[in-house]
Amino acid sequence: MAWIRGNIGNAATQGFAKDIGATSNDVNDAVSLFFVTFVIFRPISAACGRLVGPKYWMPFLMGCWGLLTLSNAFIHGRGQLIAIRLLIGLFEAKFYPSVLFYLSTFYPRFDLATRIGIFYGQYSIAGAFSGAISYGIFHLKGAVHNWHYLFIIEGSLTMFVALLALVLLPKHSGSAWFLTQAERQFAAERMRIDNEKYVLKEYGSSTSN
Residues 181 and 137 in one domain: no
Convert the pLDDT of each residue in 49-90 to its tens digit.
Answer: 788 888 999 999 999 999 999 999 999 999 999 999 999 999
The pTM for the full model equals: 0.83
> Does 57 lie in the same domain as 36?
yes
- Co-location of 93 and 186 in the same domain: no
Q: Which of 98, 107, 115 is nearest to 194 (CA)?
A: 107
Checking if the pLDDT of 203 tops 50, the result is no
CA pair distance 32, 30, nearest whole angstrom: 5
Share of the chain above pLDDT 90, in %: 43
Number of domains in the chain: 2
**What is the span of the domain harbouring residue 142?**
1-169
Residue pair 29/82 in contact by the 8 Å Cβ criterion: yes
Same domain (yes/no): 117, 180: no
Verify that 154 and 183 share a domain, yes or no.
no
Q: Give the Cα-Cα-Cα angle 184, 186, 187 (nearest 5 degrees).
A: 65
Predicted confidence (pLDDT) per residue in 7-40, tens digit: 888 899 899 999 999 999 999 999 999 999 999 9
